Chain A
Amino acid sequence: DADVTQTPRNRITKTGKRIMLECSQTKGHDRMYWYRQDPGLGLRLIYYSFDVKDINKGEISDGYSVSRQAQAKFSLSLESAIPNQTALYFCATSDLQGNYGYTFGSGTRLTVV
């Protein structure tokens, strides 16, 4: 099994719908992150969580919310999806210091039509 699992892998949704992307990890890491990746813009941080009770906004949090249900689970919600939220979404984890880099999930390709 993958260390970081994201579901779904692909999703097409309509404008205005609420959608949740889920992430679970078996690394035992406290820190979890949600990024989106767009061509020419690279990886941009949406939200991050350093433990279950510590959730922080990243550089592009508008239109998104998150929930840290447990150490191993971190979900991302789009409250009312819009077409410019079409992107590749990655969940990632790191240890406390982050000195060993991030472990990424396999990604969710989201299309909003």
Chain B
Amino acid sequence: QKEVEQNSGPLSVPEGAIASLNCTYSDRGSQSFFWYRQYSGKSPELIMSIYSNGDKEDGRFTAQLNKASQYVSLLIRDSQPSDSATYLCAVKSGGYQKVTFGIGTKLQVIP
């Protein structure tokens, strides 16, 4: 079992819709959770971080964490073509606070 799992996609949504991106992780001791956006050929950019169960909202983005189910998600409301990118889930855990990345989900927002 991979430490951080994501569906590679592509996930296609129409412009204006809600995009839902999902991630599961294997280490129950994981402490911090991050979502990065990566445009093709560019570096990952941090867009959300979440540390406790529940929802965290920032503009059109909402991160959701459920530690009991070992599940973290990212919702993008009112999706725009400029949101088309690969979204990486990252999980921090362990004594050395190691961060493990998922392979990323490619999102395509169709105009």
Q: Tell whether, in the assembled complex, residue B44 and residue A104 are in contact, meaning their CB atoms are under 8 Å apart.
A: yes
Known: A42-B88, A42-B102, A42-B103. A99 touches B43 (CB 8 A): no
User: Considering only CB atoms and an 8 Å cut-off, how many residues of chain B contact the other chain?
Assistant: 23
Q: Tell whether, in the assembled complex, residue A41 and residue B103 are in contact, meaning their CB atoms are under 8 Å apart.
A: yes
Q: Tell whether, in the assembled complex, residue A97 and residue B97 are in contact, meaning their CB atoms are under 8 Å apart.
A: yes
| CB within 8 Å: A-B pair count | 48
User: Considering only CB atoms and an 8 Å cut-off, how many residues of chain A contact the other chain?
Assistant: 21
Q: Tell whether, in the assembled complex, residue A107 and residue B42 are in contact, meaning their CB atoms are under 8 Å apart.
A: yes
Known: A40-B8, A42-B104, A43-B101. A98 touches B43 (CB 8 A): no
Cα distance A26–B41 in the bound complex, in angstroms: 23
Chain B residues, Cβ within 8 Å of A45? 98
9 A–B pairs (Cβ distance < 8 Å), ordered by A: A42-B88, A42-B101, A42-B104, A45-B98, A90-B44, A98-B92, A99-B92, A101-B46, A103-B46
